[in-house]
Structure 1
């Protein structure tokens, strides 16, 4: 046990050394608490494999494509994490994104509304959908599988109605199109990178000081430095790669900079992570997911938590729908359909969120979304057909679910759950 004197504290705060933290982490993994480790290892294996087989995989232009290709799926998966934490499911999230994208397109093209009003209408539509779904599950007691399966079917029809039975509605608003198809100036990308690293470092230091001030064990300075340093290195490499010129003819058009969608995803990741980890609402989500009856007896309004989770899920799906509309510069009957839901659920589970409830983080959606994007992108570069991509993604999802189930059994056997 080491002792770390933190600035601003009156007494020395006892804290475990870096070696003790490593041993404690290994102990948690052996006990079944694997967290995002399988997803991170999977990403390393996949990226290494594709980089060896297809060196173009790590080219500047393909690196940028990975961010834009996985953005919508990751966004929808972030919302699904809240529902999965409760042990519920939302099978309608994909078509919810499609319906909200159609509302955006109709509002702009047919009603002539500005982009911010149209985007607000799309997000409001998602919130209303979440309220209805959540009320049916929480108040009437209908299983979420049945409610959202019915919504999955109904929203396909509603999407057809909105796009007039199969029409393609073009998106021409430059702001909406820019979300997925435009880039930040390189200088602004570096500024945002520096801000993110400094804020993360500040949060880590403040958290350690508060724990020390309360007489609790705080993370040692070496561990904090390692975390901040890792983020700084990985983030710096990513920004550097994204700021490289990707256009074959830079005189005609320049393609460099961080995609605009990236800071949007990062901002929502930080916000929802704060909600889950630093608020009473977040603690109640985990409590209800772990044991709903015990949470009810502890005074938690379980119905309100369930409704709120579905509202967040559908609200995030609406943002994912806006990104899908930006990506395609149009909305049609397939928007939000096909494999969007499957990939979004798969992203959350592959990233480490448990299907049984009570375990998961918003970051899991981003990690799982990266795995899905890497599989699709890498196998596409290797010339594999869509059928092979589906098979591989399905096997990866099955493996992730298997790891989750085995981890829970091991955790129960070791007394961690």
Structure 2
């Protein structure tokens, strides 16, 4: 018997060049590994249809507005992605968003507390709520659905109580929360500088990753693939920067959203804690036997998700012009969950990525904005968003079934 090890199939793919990548792509599609392809195709179709119908959908003004509108729900969707990776759900994020806005408004506007301090306390309140949810779920064993449903009702009531006799508390002109929606870096260097930083950062991350893989004796990407990947990211980043600069510049809301995405992506993909989230979501009992503190992972994920919901609530308050007793109600919860699922995170746990929060929120906001430009009624928007969500869940289910058939799960 020969002692020669069989070559790694991933290495063979890369050694064969373009033909190898095409074959690998076909294999992944046949095996149900769709990734972000359906979302990207859907976004292209949405852009083409609405531009043809309105003539203004792809205007710099409209696209800039979309980047501002997605910040609030997108930040909240990042937290939902983490919860979904556990195979769980959080139904309280909408009411938590409203409660955090109420806490900030009462402290900052009504009682004169420093704006930054009030923002921090509102986010800390969200973290405390998430910790409470996580405790009942992870330590006591109450299903997350029940715990967060109770939270949805309870925190909505607390929000009304915190607001007191005030139906609405308007945001002062000099408030930092107001800047979440209205502040733009008007210097064109800001948008182009961010695009350059993202491109160079991605290049550095790829080079660092490939060096580590090479040092460990694992297959590495050829230089041509690295250049192609970085080139695509750079084109997307600089086109976005150019478009934003045609209107008012780089929105602060987008900068904060991207920062949270990058931090969350690093945590999930590059840290032990992130790998533990996937392990618990894939098989909690196996993770426990492997020495992972399952209760700690679950509790902290709900803490992070609720804190992000609190921050997202401040963005919603900025867009609404103030905090109110009804902020966070309506279809906010469903849109946030739908964004995570439409973006490619599985409802069944253990599979997904942080950037699905961006993709899914872009899809939903693009549909909403496009239908508004066409003058469509809100009920039509709800029906179309629901249909898109159903398609995303069906694709996820079919993908998982195909992977089981192919022996990959």
- Please give the range of the TM-score, normalised by the shorter of the 2 chains: over 0.9
Alignment partners' CA distance in 1, 2:26 and 2:66: 31
Residue 98, structure 1, aligned to residue 98, structure 2 = yes
Which of 187, 199, 202 does residue 201 from structure 2 map onto? 199
| Paired residue secondary structure (1:56) | coil
Matched ranges for 1:1-400 at <5 A: 17-164=17-164, 167-172=167-172, 173-185=174-186, 186-245=188-247, 256-400=248-392
The CA deviation at 1:234 is: 1.1
The CA deviation at 1:15 is: 5.6
Is the 1:15–1:218 Cα contact (8 Å) retained in structure 2?
no
CA distance 1:165–1:24, shift in 2 (3 Å): farther
For each residue in 1:301-358, what CA deviation from the matched residue of structure 2 results, as whole angstroms up to 9, or x when unmatched? Answer: 1111110110111011011011111222200022111111100000000001000000
| Paired residue secondary structure (1:33) | coil
The CA deviation at 1:86 is: 0.8
The CA deviation at 1:175 is: 2.0
The CA deviation at 1:18 is: 4.1
State the Cα RMSD in Å: 1.5
TM-score by length of 2: 0.94
Alignment partners' CA distance in 2, 1:196 and 1:15: 29
- 2:11 aligns to what? none
Paired residue total:
396
The CA deviation at 1:241 is: 0.9
Q: Say which is worse superposed, 268-277 or 212-221, in terms of deviation.
A: 212-221
Alignment partners' CA distance in 2, 1:22 and 1:121: 51
Q: Say which is worse superposed, 26-35 or 295-304, in terms of deviation.
A: 26-35
Alignment partners' CA distance in 2, 1:319 and 1:157: 19
- 1:248 aligns to what? none
The CA deviation at 1:17 is: 3.0
Alignment partners' CA distance in 2, 1:409 and 1:349: 17
The CA deviation at 1:278 is: 0.5
Is the 1:18–1:223 Cα contact (8 Å) retained in structure 2?
no
For each residue in 1:172-200, what CA deviation from the matched residue of structure 2 results, as whole angstroms up to 9, or x when unmatched? Answer: 14322111112112222211221111111
The CA deviation at 1:22 is: 3.5
> Any gaps of 5 or more consecutive residues in structure 1?
3-13, 246-255
For each residue in 1:123-155, what CA deviation from the matched residue of structure 2 results, as whole angstroms up to 9, or x when unmatched? Answer: 100100010000111111111111111111111
Is the 1:351–1:366 Cα contact (8 Å) retained in structure 2?
yes
Alignment partners' CA distance in 2, 1:22 and 1:126: 46
The CA deviation at 1:16 is: 6.1
